[in-house]
Structure formats: structure tokens, C-alpha cells
Structure 1
Amino acid sequence: MNAPAKTEDFVETAPAGVFVETVTEVAHYTDRLFRFRMTRPAGFRFRSGEFAMIGLMVEGKPIYRAYSIASPAWDEELEFFSIKVPDGPLTSHLQLIKPGDKVLMRKKPTGTLVLDALTPGKRLYMFSTGTGIAPFASLIRDPETYEKFEEVVLAHTCREVAELKYGFDLVDEIKNHEFLAEIVGDKLKHYATVTREPFAFQGRVTDLMRSGKFFTDLGVPPLDPLIDRGMICGSTEMLKDTKAILEEAGLTEGANNKPAEFVIERAFVG
């Protein structure tokens, strides 16, 4: 496995129209998951929940993949939450980065998991599996989310308990943040489940929704298209199953150009 290209290689070979940014922090959670932060380009604008194309120079060529920006739009740095794929064209190299290394980023962010793609509602559900929590890491730290919704439910399902740590760290950060703590108050509910180990909440969130346990545990009524809104980011199967549950409850899928009751991010599927 080759290490990422040297700093000077990026500066000399980065394509035009691409930002070259510096890694400021790296945290490894498990042998499959890690988080990193990097400098934010001057003038770079994005909406919380959007993704960007992140890349490295590998053997003289840039390799990019879509990564949700996990930091909120107000953050001075950019944060990303990534899976480690041993033979992945990008992640096999990306997982080796350390502070001071350089990362490429294309200049135009995009995505459907944005508040603008939803019609007004009372309660916002964010359904995620694995690294699908990344866009919601951005949104739960954005004051606008709490201006638009009275209650926000972050649902995160992983295989093992250790893989939930990023989500718990996010909630702790909000509770102890100098201005977010007051804005968020008790509006945010965090519902974490695992599928392969004993834990307080076990099973796929879709199964827990169908059984009704999900709503009972949260102390909320079943889905209501008049007040409930949803965002979904996860595996192909999870997207399909969650979408079916929301549609059975009467919610309609929306998009940037046609806001509705729920949205799905498909950029990471396949």
C-alpha cells in the first residue's frame, strides 16, 4: 500500500479548479472508521448536509470520491467521516493521512440532504447507517435546523457498539458547546442501535420502526405526513426499506427543485 503523495506533489500536480487543503486533525475510531478535519478554502460556501468530491494524488493521478461534509456551514474547518476499505482506490490511501498532509477537493458542493429540499414540518427524522451519519453531523450542529424544526431525531445504526462512538461524541459536543447548547436545548434526540452486539437498543432501525418500538422508545406518535419530515443516508438496502416505510405512512420524496416530506442521498450508493 502506497502512502499518499507528498505535499509538494500536490502543489505541482493538482488540476486547475481544485482546492488543495491541509489536514489539521485525524481520529481513528475503529479499524473501519476514522474522522479527519482540514482547512477550509477561503470563500468556500456550502449548505449543511451537502457533499464534496474529496481526493488524493495516487501514482500521479487524482482519485476522487463523494464525501458528505460533516462539519456545519459555520465551521472554520471542514470535517469528514470515512470508512476504511483495505483495497479501496481512495480510502486505502486516505486512511493513512496525518496532520500536515494535503487533500484535494473539487470546488462545487452538492447534495439532496439539505433543509431547502423539505417542506415545513414539526419533527425531523435523520435515518443513518454507518458513515451515513456524516451529513447529519453537519445538520445537527447547524442552528437553522432548530429554527425550522421543534424536534430533531438522529437515528444511527451500526454493526458494533464501537462504531457508534462518533455519533455520541457529536451529541456530547453539542451539549457542551458555547452557543449550540442553548440553541439545541432538548430538541435533539439521539437513537443509536446495533445489529451484532448486545446494546440498549438492538436491531435495524427499519425493523424497530415497523414493530413500533422505535416510536415507543422515543415517546413520539407514528409517522404523520402533516408534521414529520425525513432524511435518509445509508446502505442501498436501508435506503429502500426506509423509503418504503415513509411512503407507506404517506410521506412523499422531495428534491432541491421540488421540496416534499423526505429526501434521500443516493450519491454514495453502488
Structure 2
Amino acid sequence: MAQWLTGTVIENKRWNDQLFSLRVEAPPFDFVAGQFVRLGLPGAEKRLQRAYSLVNSPSDPVLDFLITSVPTGALSPRLDLLIPGDTVEVSQPPSGFFILSEIPEGETLWLVSTGTGIGPYLSMLGTEIPWQRFKTIYLVHGVRYRHDLCYQELIQQWQLEHPGQLIYQPVVTRETCSGALQQRIPQLIRSGELEAKVGGTLDSNAQVMLCGNPEMILDAKAALLEKGLDKNLRRKPGNVTVEQYWK
């Protein structure tokens, strides 16, 4: 049964009208980059709660959550209204196996996401593990509009710290954005346009992680399978590891 910690909001950072990062101070706990906890607020009859990945790395004591406010949602609009000094409950223990220790060896690591699915990758990149294990890391973030491209300064900082090792490729589907690709990620994989743009190859030496919209994950898995990259399972290691935030 989950236990709950009480955290205090120290920042509600706006990326746009619907996307925000909630930064929270809470009693310290251990987790592995890529894992998630639940955030909760009191409801009329029971606690309102939902799972969110930790965006901060395990070495950062301030918890960071990337959240989209869904107008019809029970919890996210209330989280959206929190200001510094407000409290929010954080579940324990952390959960999830979308972590780098579950990823087989490879030369390249492809971190492919849509929307808030970029969150666990930022947590991973804040550790030494991916930089030590993989020659090249491709961070692919698919969004609808350019204002959804968050954490740009942090990504640029990593690129400066690891020159040539981190390749960042935004994908913006509903407007033209300099440097971004515009088609859906599965189409870009299937056509080879993604590989051509980043200068990498999706082959047997690649490990691919997929996180975000379930339709993207389903279609991207099919496109990757056409290239000979099958799903990674503990009983049968492969090249594609997935995490879905909603179904």
C-alpha cells in the first residue's frame, strides 16, 4: 500500500497556457531515473491522484514534474493552480521499470518522446549513466507547437557539456519551426527522414526508448520492427523499450 509524503510547492513554471512544471520540496527519498510517483490532492470523497514521472535526477533534492493541464481532468487543473507555499502529496515508494538498467548494451541510445513523455529522459540525462554507456544519444521530442518545446536551456547545457554526444531533434507537427521536422514520428522513422536528419542509423546497435502518446508508441514500434528492431523484454532482450502514460 502506498504511503504519502507532504511536499511544498516552490515553483509553478509556465511553459504555455496548458503546460507547466511543478517543482516541489519534500522529505528525501531514493528513486531511479525514469521512475514515477503519484501526486495527490484532497478530494470531496477521496484523494485525487495521478502518476507523474520525476523529471529531476536522483541527485537533485527538488522534485520536478512536467504536467499538461487537461480542462476535463479531475486533478491536473487543480495542480495547475498551485502556487509557492501550497502543499501536495507525493506517493511512496517510486515505481516503474522504464530505467536504463533495463536497457541492453548498444552503441546509440534513441530517447523518443511526445509531449510530457520527455520527462523521464531528462531525469536520465541528469545522471552519468547514459553518457558512460552510449557513444551517441539522440533526444527526439515530438510536440504540436513550438511553445511546447520545454527545457531548452537544460538540453543546450548538456550539449555543451557533451559535445557531439547528444543530438537533439525537435518534431513540431502543426506549424513550421526552424530546425524541426514536421511529420509524425512513426512516419519519420519509416521513411528514414529521422535518421537522415540526425545522422544516425536505427540498426541492431541502437537501443530505442519510446514514451508518450500510445498511438505514437504503437505506430513507432511497427515502423521499428520493419527495420528489424523488436521489443525489449526481460525474457527476450531486444532494441525497443516502451512506457505509456495513458491508455
Residue from 141, 153, 157 that aligns with 2:142: 157
Matches within 5 A, 1:157-196: 157-164=142-149, 166-175=150-159, 181=161, 184-196=162-174
The letter of the residue matching 2:27 is: P
1:40-189 alignment runs, 5 A limit? 40-42=26-28, 44-59=29-44, 61-164=46-149, 166-175=150-159, 181=161, 184-189=162-167
| Cα separation, partners in 2 of 1:146 and 1:205, compared to 1, 3 Å | same
Residues 1:269 and 2:246 are matched in the alignment: yes
Partner of 2:203: 224
Amino acid in structure 2 at the alignment position of 1:220: G
1:242 corresponds, among 210, 220, 235, to 220
Identical aligned residues as a percent: 33
- Residue by residue over 1:58-98, the C-alpha shift from the partner in whole angstroms, topping out at 9 and shown as x without a partner, is 23631111101111121111111000111211101010011
5+ residue gaps, structure 2, are none
Give distance in 1, aligned partners of 2:199 and 2:115. 25
So what's the TM-score if we normalise by structure 2? 0.92
Distance in 2 separating the partners of 1:80 and 1:260: 30
> Aligned AA for 1:35?
S
Give, as a single letter, the amino acid of the residue that structure 2 aligns with 1:207: Q
TM-score for the superposition, normalised by structure 1:
0.85
Counterpart amino acid of residue 141 in structure 1: G
> RMSD over aligned Cα, in angstroms?
1.9
Q: Is 1:21 aligned to 2:7, yes or no?
A: yes
Count matched residues: 245
Amino acid at match of 1:151: T
Partner in structure 2 of residue 3 of structure 1: none
Q: 1:255 to 1:21 in 2, by over 3 A?
A: farther
Read off the aligned partner of 1:128 and give its amino acid letter: S
Q: Distance in 2 between matches of 1:46 and 1:80?
A: 14
Structure 2 CA distance for partners of 1:230 and 1:16, relative to 1, 3 Å: closer
Aligned partner of residue 58 in structure 1, secondary structure: coil
What letter is aligned with 2:94? P
Measured after TM superposition, the shift of residue 259 of structure 1 is 4.8
Report the residue type matching 1:239 in the other structure. Answer: I
2:32 and 2:112 mapped to 1: Cα distance?
A: 19
Partners of 1:81 and 1:257 lie apart in 2 by 32
The answer on 1:35 being equivalent to 2:21 is yes
Q: CA deviation at 1:258?
A: 6.0
Counterpart residue number, 1:209: 189
1:260: Cα distance to partner?
A: 3.4
The question of whether the paired residues in 2 share the 8 Å contact of 1:119 and 1:259 is answered with yes
The offset of 1:231, in angstroms, is 0.7
The residue type equivalent to 1:54 in the other structure is L
